[in-house]
Amino acid sequence: MKILVCLKQVPEPESHLQWLEDGGVAPVPGARFQMGSLDAQALEWALTLAQDHQGISVEAVCAGPARAAAVLERARGMGAAQACHILTPEGAGPPALTLATWLAAWAGPRAYDLILTGGMSQDAMRGQVGPLLAGLLGLNWATLAVDMRLTDQGRLHLEREVEAGRRQALELDLPALVTVQSSPREPRYPSLSGLLKAKASPPQVVEATGLPPRAPQVAALGARRPQRRRAGRALNGTLAQQAQELCAILRQRGLL
């Protein structure tokens, strides 16, 4: 059985993002990057399944500029057997459909039994790539998984988060794609031996320009801040003075 985990390199939480004219976001110069937190959860799930069942291999893929190779090195250090870097130009990331098309072109011929992605990335927060990839590959799919296991019948049993704190149980025939919301385990740290192996055998590199193009079908028109509807009022002075002023305002408005 082969599991593929799709990863994304995102700015660290402390790094700032800048708005682009088309409404997208891009990291500011000098930003620091890391593996997306939900992608790390997806990778942990894949590695856990491989630990619990014999004959499972875990591979990782990441589309991004040259700096994204660090994400794949970490994935190899955590336990992924193979990795592929879909090399893209520097700058803002591609639209979700373009990214899903690249991933489908690379993953399709390799016939993975299970593809895992994070529920959404921390920067774009679209949650679109996983479902789009499943549609392009014609796979069964589910979103926002918080638990999963393989059954004796070779199906994937999972639970997903729904409203009011409830969990919905599903079983999927493989091959399938699942987006991950969380894992009961913290993503493991890379081992020294794994990192050394990763440095000794760099990931396969595929130029995004060599993959089939796909024109985006959604155009971003821009972004704006919402209009302020009401102005706030600050209360000054001591606590007693603030309390008196608040009571006066409430009486004036007929609320006391």
Closest Cα to residue 102, out of 80, 120, 85, 127? Answer: 85
Per the CB < 8 A criterion, the answer to whether 182 and 168 are in contact is no
Q: Indicate the SS3 state at residue 141.
A: strand
Per the CB < 8 A criterion, the answer to whether 139 and 125 are in contact is no
Per the CB < 8 A criterion, the answer to whether 88 and 65 are in contact is yes
Task: Write down the pLDDT at residue 22.
Answer: 62
Per the CB < 8 A criterion, the answer to whether 38 and 181 are in contact is yes
Per the CB < 8 A criterion, the answer to whether 146 and 167 are in contact is yes
Task: Write down the pLDDT at residue 134.
Answer: 95
The pairing of strands 156-161 and 167-172 is antiparallel
Task: Write down the pLDDT at residue 228.
Answer: 75
Q: Indicate the SS3 state at residue 53.
A: coil
Amino acid at 173: D
Which residues have a Cβ under 8 Å from the Cβ of 89 and sit 6 or more positions away?
Answer: 65, 208
Task: Write down the pLDDT at residue 92.
Answer: 66
- Per-residue pLDDT 10s for the chain (256 aa) are 999 999 998 888 777 777 666 666 677 777 788 898 899 999 999 999 999 999 999 999 999 999 999 999 999 999 999 999 999 988 767 888 999 999 999 999 999 999 999 988 887 778 899 999 999 999 999 999 999 999 999 899 999 988 888 889 999 999 999 999 887 888 889 899 989 988 888 899 999 888 887 777 777 777 777 777 777 788 989 999 999 999 999 999 888 8
Q: What is the maximum alpha-carbon separation in the chain?
A: 75
Extract the tokens encoding 143: 């979103």
First-to-last C-alpha distance (Å) of the chain? 69
Q: Which domains does the chain have, with CATH numbers?
A: 2-210 (3.40.50.620)
